[in-house]
Amino acid sequence: MAEQKIAEVASFQVTLMIRRFDPETDSEPKWVDYDVEMFGTDRVLDALHKIKWEQDGSLTFRRSCAHGVCGSDAMRINGRNRLACKTLIKDLDISQPIYVEPIKGLPVEKDLIVDMNPFYQAYKDVNPFLIASDKPEKERLQSPEDRARYDDTTKCILCAACTTSCPVFWTDGQYFGPAAIVNAHRFIFDSRDEAAQVRIDILNDKEGVWRCRTTFNCTEACPRGIEVTKAIAEVKQAILRGKP
């Protein structure tokens, strides 16, 4: 316990290897190393801020809330998709450089920033909103049991960590990807929604749920702990049944 406290209160030097790319000057990405003085309880996002503010103002990355809610700072850290704001330095092997690069499968715009438009388009294509014809005076009531049916998939923050951890998505730009399926699941199994069949038909396409190879990368990558692979399997079962 004493050793852990010392590690957390004492600063030490950490090396970050960051994959940089500037389309205006670079023909291809390159690795650039930075040494920063950090504390164990600091996050990778703190290290990136320190580099940008104190060493190289040209370093480019997305961030917003810095508390794991907005999902904007998803990136590959030591080969795994994570949120930089939730990844503590002390949880990484600091005896080796910490490798930071953009998430895979989406076009890199600059440094750690990728073009999210293909990801958002897949999300929009599954109709991620409630579709109902009734017009209640107040709200649409739902039992706790019905709500629990899709509770897990309401946690998605659209960070793209799950989708860009998928080997199928890396090689097939048409695949909807885990996040789109998760958000379809959220409404397919909502008892108040009337368009479950529409979404089922969309995801029964050759680029829908049947492209999933059940590698569980998506579930491991999700910073919100969503059981992504389970949700995809439940959508597959709904397709086979012909109903949720």
CATH, residue 229:
1.10.1060.10
Residues 77, 128: one domain? no
Q: Answer yes or no: do 84 and 132 share one domain.
A: no
Residues contacting residue 134 through CB under 8 Å, at least 6 positions apart: 140
Between 3-17, 76-90, 112-126, the lowest mean confidence (pLDDT) is in 3-17
Residue found by looking up tokens 């009734």 in the block: 134
Q: Which of 114, 149, 174 is the last residue of a domain?
A: 114
Q: Is the pLDDT of residue 8 over 70?
A: no
What count of other Cβ atoms lies within 10 Å of the Cβ of residue 234? 21
Residues 83 and 189 placed together within one structural domain of the fold: no
Q: What is the rounded distance in angstroms from the CA atom of residue 147 to the CA atom of residue 151?
A: 6
Which helix H or strand E contains 238, and what residues bound it? helix 228-241
pLDDT in tens, 142-161: 999 999 999 999 999 999 99
pLDDT at position 9 is 67
81 with 131: CB under 8 angstroms? Answer: no
Instruction: Out of 75, 95, 114, pick the residue that ends a domain.
Output: 114
**Per-residue confidence (pLDDT) for residue 206, from 0 to 100:** 85
- Rounded-to-integer distance, Cα 119 and Cα 88, Å: 27
Range(s) of the domain holding residue 150:
117-241
Are 143 and 223 part of one and the same domain? yes
Distance of CA 229 to the CA centre of its chain: 14
Task: Report the predicted TM-score, pTM, of the whole model to 2 decimal places.
Answer: 0.91
Given 114, 134, 151, which residue is the final one in a domain? 114
Predicted local confidence at residue 83, as pLDDT: 98
Q: Are residues 12 and 105 in the same domain?
A: yes
pLDDT at site 10: 81
Residue 107 above 70 pLDDT? yes
- Cα distances from 25 to residues 19, 30, 58, 101, 110, in angstroms, run 14, 12, 12, 18, 11
Quote the longest CA-to-CA distance of the chain.
62
Across residues 19-48, what is the average pLDDT? 97
Residue 210, burial from CB neighbour count under 10 angstroms (0-12, 13-18, 19+): middle
Q: Say whether both 142 and 231 belong to one domain.
A: yes
Together in a domain, 106 and 126: no
Are 70 and 155 in the same domain? no
Contacts with 222 (C-beta within 8 Å, 6 or more apart), sequence order: 161, 162, 228
The three-class DSSP label of residue 37 is: strand
- Using the predicted structure, report yes or no on whether residue 133 has a pLDDT greater than 50: yes
Pair 101, 175 in one domain = no
Q: Which residues pair with 113 in a beta bridge?
A: 110
- What is the CATH number for 6? 3.10.20.30
Question: Residue 62 — pLDDT band, cuts 50, 70, 90?
Answer: very high
Same domain (yes/no): 160, 108? no
pLDDT > 90? residue 4: no
Query: pLDDT by residue (tens digit) across 65-101?
Result: 999 999 999 999 999 999 999 999 999 999 999 999 9
pLDDT at 109: 97
Task: Enter the tokens of residue 25.
Answer: 């000057």
Distance CA 179, CA 218 (A): 9
Between residues 244 and 232, the one the model is more confident about: 232
My answer on whether 143 and 89 are in the same domain is no
How many domains does the chain contain in total? 2
Integer CA distances (angstroms), 207 to 178, 211, 240, in order:
11, 6, 16
Q: Does the structure show a pLDDT above 50 at 127?
A: yes
| pLDDT band with cut points at 50, 70 and 90 for residue 1 | very low
User: What residue has token string 């030097």?
Assistant: 13
Whether the CB-CB separation of 33 and 2 falls below 8 Å is answered with no
Backbone φ, ψ for residue 95 (5° rounding): -75, -15
In this predicted model, what pLDDT tens digit does every residue of 209-219 receive, in sequence order?
999 999 999 99
**CB within 8 A of 2, min separation 6: which ones?**
none
- At 7 the pLDDT is 53
191 and 125 housed in the same domain? yes
Looking at every residue in the chain, the average pLDDT score rounds to 94
